[in-house]
Amino acid sequence: MTGRVLVLGGTGEARRLATALVDDGVDVLSSLAGRVADPLLPPGEVRVGGFGGVAGLTAWLRAHPTAAVVDATHPFAAAMTAHAAAACGLTGVPLLRLQRPGWTPRFGDDWRRVDSLAEAATAVAGFGSVFLTTGRLGLAAFAGLTARCLVRSVDPPEPPLPPRATVVLARGPFTVSDELALMRQHRVDVVVTKDSGGAMTAAKLTAARELRLPVVLVRRPPLPAGVPTVATVEDALAWLPDR
């Protein structure tokens, strides 16, 4: 294809898409939100930092001719996904949402689905030891918990945190053995996570199943109406030439 492709990234799918496009000689600009101090950078040109909402992204698209935008941000990056849909609608730039499928429960799973982090905090209020794997930006929702809380994130989280929080700084992927050892070490009673999907962070679900621990799973936010969506990098590559 000809013309520049803007990939809204920060996920493994975004990096794989950028790699494939660069290998094919396509002009790619990957945009990262800048929320991680040391992000894994894709090949090709990279910009770090937000656009400034719908108005900022609209202005950017008008100033930088773009053949297509692929929104490959995290399934819970709802604001960026909404901004991309609105800005592409205003400018007429074709937009594709690349989003990995959510997780599917297996035999033996005790999953308790909720719609928000606040609901997740309410759901675990009666447990003695909670493993929080929801990311560092939403931890304020759990600040009122009196249980022991194991918090894992890539970068140090900022307060407010639960008063009895133990912070583990680590970047995945993690093996099932890693997760089993961590949960046993901290005597975890319940796991809290978002329905991010994919294999990179699924080991904790397998570990919870083996330990017969309940998992409080936050549902994904809905996608904007009318935006075509694919589940794989291969499908995104097939969609792009037609633009």
The answer to whether 233 and 20 are in contact (CB under 8 A) is yes
C-alpha Rg value of the chain to the nearest Å: 19
Structure confidence at residue 139 (pLDDT): 95
Structure confidence at residue 226 (pLDDT): 95
Give the single-character DSSP code of 169. E
pLDDT at 36 over 80: no
pLDDT digits (tens, 9 = 90+) for 177-188: 999 999 999 999
Mean pLDDT of 46-53: 93
Closest CA to 134 of 110, 161, 109: 161
Cα 231 to the center of its chain, rounded Å: 14
Structure confidence at residue 79 (pLDDT): 95
pLDDT at 106 over 80: yes
Strands of the sheet containing 165-169, edge to edge, are: 111-114, 215-218, 190-194, 129-133, 148-153, 165-169
Task: State how far the alpha carbon of 58 is from the alpha carbons of 8, 42, 95, 134, in Å.
Answer: 14, 24, 13, 30
- Average pLDDT, whole number, for the chain? 94
* CA 65 – CA 3 distance, rounded (Å): 8
Mean pLDDT of 194-205: 93
Tokens of 185: 């070490």
Task: State how far the alpha carbon of 68 is from the alpha carbons of 23, 43, 241, 242, 243, in Å.
Answer: 18, 18, 10, 10, 7
Mean pLDDT of 69-75: 97
Give percent of the chain above pLDDT 90.
Answer: 86
Q: Which has the minimum average pLDDT: 29-38, 61-70, 225-234?
A: 29-38
Q: How confident is the model at residue 234 (pLDDT cuts 50, 70, 90)?
A: very high
- pTM across the whole model: 0.90
* CA 108 – CA 61 distance, rounded (Å): 48
pLDDT at 37 over 70: no
Structure confidence at residue 3 (pLDDT): 84
pLDDT digits (tens, 9 = 90+) for 131-174: 999 988 899 999 999 999 999 988 899 999 999 999 999 988 89
* CA 107 – CA 74 distance, rounded (Å): 27
- The strand pair at 165-169 and 148-153 is best described as parallel
More reliable by pLDDT, 188 or 38: 188
Mean pLDDT of 223-236: 97
